[in-house]
């Protein structure tokens, strides 16, 4: 079974499940889209943290290449923490990724480049949940490019996340971004530019349970054996689910799982994505 067949099967199953699930009960208070808002997996949503609320996010993503060349497995663990800066309009956060790679002949691990992020809530409509929140990030060279982790250079990243509720039961998100690495290693060092785009559609049968279908594309520049800069397309299609647990003290725990599938040769053939988020107040008005 090739990549296209797997994607079609997953998409058909997702559509079937979404149509079979019962619609939300209009007599119950609240809208299903209000229950889980800022907990996407591969796509960045455009909702900053409310005033006084901090979010801790743990991700674990496995990617496996089995269809061509040597078998490669890679685990990437990511921790992100998001803080409102005085109000919801401004948000600071950091992202730290750590990877384990097994090529069969070699096993290696290490810290990747760390991101320090600032995001502006440029627009937010609470009724329609339409939001736009441009982000700029400083890329810190915490990885070791000679071992295949990071770029060994300070860089900049920008992303433009947009989010909206299509109805009381449907969400949509879209992203477009780029990363600029002015002196990326290992040798020969080059100026590299990476581009990204992502989109998702989320069905919300209940406030505490959502179905997701996400697509994420990356064009990451690199230097091949001939010394030329290449920019292959890596495309993932990822169906998933997420479940919220609303705890005492206005705390929320969200768990999720997804099954990313590679749609291009340079993407992992298949994998698994695990998600955990915990939000709580650190200061109340």
Q: What is the CATH number of the domain that holds 265?
A: 2.40.160.40
CB neighbours of 283 closer than 8 A, spacing ≥ 6? 51, 52
| Dihedral (Cα; 52, 253, 205, 239), 10-degree rounding | 110
Does residue 247 contact residue 239 with C-beta atoms inside 8 Å? no
Does residue 185 contact residue 151 with C-beta atoms inside 8 Å? yes
pLDDT of residue 26: 38
pLDDT of residue 14: 53
Number of domains in the chain: 1
Provide the CA 90 distance to its chain's centre, in angstroms: 20
pLDDT digits (tens, 9 = 90+) for 136-176: 999 999 999 888 899 999 999 999 999 999 999 999 999 99
Tokens of 214: 């996400």
CA-CA distance, 274 to 198, in Å (whole number)? 18
* Neighbour-count burial of 44, counting CB atoms closer than 10 A to its CB (0-12 exposed, 13-18 middle, 19+ buried): buried
Does residue 202 contact residue 222 with C-beta atoms inside 8 Å? no
pLDDT of residue 16: 56
Which residue reads 């002015």 in tokens? 182
Q: Classify each residue of 233-268 as buried b or exposed e, where b means 16 or more C-beta atoms within 10 Å of its C-beta.
A: ebbbbbbbbbebeeeeeeebebebebebbbbeeebb
The residues of the chain scoring below 70 in pLDDT are 1-29, 67-69
Domain of 70 in residue numbering reads as 3-281
CA-CA distance, 223 to 145, in Å (whole number)? 12
pLDDT of residue 4: 58
Task: Report the SS3 class of residue 9.
Answer: helix
3-state class percentages of the chain: helix first, strand second, coil last, to nearest 5: 10, 55, 35
Closest CA to 238 of 207, 217, 208, 265: 217
pLDDT of residue 68: 63
pLDDT of residue 25: 42
CA-CA distance, 173 to 164, in Å (whole number)? 7
The strand pair at 251-258 and 53-65 is best described as: unpaired
Closest CA to 259 of 238, 234, 235: 238
CA-CA distance, 152 to 122, in Å (whole number)? 32
């Amino acid at each position: 079974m090739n990549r296209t067949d797997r994607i079609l099967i997953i998409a058909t199953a997702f559509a079937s499940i979404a149509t079979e699930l019962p619609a939300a009960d209009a007599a119950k208070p609240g809208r299903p889209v209000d229950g889980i808002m800022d907990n996407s997996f591969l796509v960045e949503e455009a909702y900053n943290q409310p005033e006084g609320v901090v979010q801790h996010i743990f991700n674990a993503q496995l990617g496996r290449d089995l269809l061509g060349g040597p078998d490669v497995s890679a685990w990437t663990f990511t921790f992100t923490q998001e803080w409102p800066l005085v109000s919801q309009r401004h948000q600071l956060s950091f992202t730290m990724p750590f990877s384990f790679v097994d090529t069969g002949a070699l096993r290696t691990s290490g810290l990747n480049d760390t991101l320090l992020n600032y995001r502006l809530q440029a627009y937010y409509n609470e009724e329609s949940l339409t939001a736009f929140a441009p982000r700029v990030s400083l890329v810190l060279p915490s990885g070791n490019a000679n071992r295949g982790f990071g770029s060994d250079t300070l860089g900049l990243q920008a992303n433009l996340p947009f989010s909206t509720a299509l109805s009381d039961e449907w969400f949509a998100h879209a992203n477009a971004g780029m990363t600029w690495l002015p002196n990326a290693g290992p040798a020969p060092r080059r100026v590299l530019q990476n581009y990204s785009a992502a989109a998702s559609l989320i069905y919300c049968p209940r406030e505490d349970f959502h179905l997701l279908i996400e697509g994420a594309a990356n064009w990451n520049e690199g230097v091949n054996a001939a010394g030329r800069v290449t920019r292959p397309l890596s495309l993932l299609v990822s169906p998933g689910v997420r479940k919220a647990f609303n705890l005492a003290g206005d705390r929320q725990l969200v768990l999720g799982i997804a099954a990313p599938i590679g749609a291009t040769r340079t993407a992992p053939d298949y994998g698994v994505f695990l998600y955990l988020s915990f939000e709580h107040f650190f200061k109340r008005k």
